Amino acid sequence: LLFVVLFLFTVYYLDSHCLILGGDFNCCLDPVLDRSSLTAVPLSKSGKIIKVFLEQYALLDPWRLLNPNKREYSFFSPVHQTYSLTIHVTSGHHNAYP
């Protein structure tokens, strides 16, 4: 969690107007679409922080825009026997909102 906070704080101060952010965030941004589990799972603390950051800076996930209801996964948890989407790519204009 601390890594996520420090990383996003650093990104805030980048001197760039266009930002592409991608990686395995190790959390789901939409627990309903991004997990195969039929049991409702709340958004993790890291997921909440990342989601607020993406919304604040108008960063969009192009794949999710083109596939708003599609369920595809990038990770399988043998412990929980669930699939989840943890790899995300977002793009947008950095510093869109002061």
- Residue 21 contacts by C-beta under 8 Å, 6 or more apart in sequence? 11, 59, 89, 90, 91
- Whether 98 maps to a domain, the answer reads no
Question: Tens digit of pLDDT for each residue in 52-89?
Answer: 888 887 888 787 888 888 888 777 778 877 777 766 66
pTM of the model: 0.65
Instruction: Assess if residue 45 is contained within a domain.
Output: yes
For residue 89, the number of C-alpha atoms closer than 13 Å in the C-beta half-sphere is 6
CATH number of the domain bearing residue 47? 3.60.10.10
Among residues 97, 94, 96, the alpha carbon closest in space to that of 14 is found at 94
Q: Is 88 exposed, middle or buried (0-12, 13-18, 19+ CB in 10 A)?
A: buried
**Cα–Cα distance list, 61 to 26, 44, 64, 91, 93 (Å):** 16, 19, 5, 7, 13
Euclidean distance between CA atoms 36 and 39, whole angstroms: 9
| pLDDT tens column, 4-58 | 778 777 877 776 667 777 777 777 888 888 888 878 788 889 889 888 888 887 8
Domain span at residue 11 reads: 2-93
For the chain, the domain total comes to: 1
17 residue type, one letter: H
